[in-house]
Amino acid sequence: MAGIPRLRTTRELKTDRFLRVLKGENRPAIFHYDPELDTLMLLVVSPENETVVHPINDMIGLLYDPGTLEVVGVQVEDFESSFMAAHEPIRAQWRLNSLEPAPQDVGDLIVMTQEREPRIAREVVRVTAGVLAEVGPG
């Protein structure tokens, strides 16, 4: 996220919808990982919605609606290479070798993945909320 300017202060952004993911009330509409870019995106809106990146640190950026200033997602760069290394609960959910019981077919794998996505999303949001608290409202 280095080099991306903040167009708003963090204090101006509204986080109610974003924090409902943390509480388990909302599930991300989009859970997307790009292995080539090593970037994870979580969105509570359709990806067609316009969003603006608000960098929090070198890896984490909030995605917000420019009209309402509502945070509608999070983007994590260097997800596997750096971010997961610092967050064991996310790494444990991400790795397939921790699936119990072992999937018997593709159907099992799909169901297990769908069950893990909200857990990973809540952990990413929890970490992001913690980083927000550390960096302050600037």
- 67-107 per-position pLDDT tens digit: 999 999 999 999 999 988 888 888 877 877 666 777 778 88
Q: Which two tokens mark 81?
A: 């290479």
101-106 CB contacts, 8 Å cutoff, 24+ apart:
none
Collapsed DSSP state (helix, strand, coil) of residue 127: helix
> Does residue 107 lie within any of the structural domains?
yes
> Does residue 71 lie within any of the structural domains?
yes
> Does residue 2 lie within any of the structural domains?
no
> Does residue 5 lie within any of the structural domains?
no
Name the β-bridge partners of 53. 63
Span 119-138, average pLDDT? 76
pTM given for the model: 0.80
> Does residue 91 lie within any of the structural domains?
yes
Do 126 and 19 meet the contact criterion of CB atoms below 8 Å apart? Answer: no
Give the per-residue pLDDT at 54.
93
Do 128 and 62 meet the contact criterion of CB atoms below 8 Å apart? Answer: yes
Statement: residue 2 has pLDDT above 80: no
* Structural domain total, the chain: 1
Single-letter residue type at 47: P
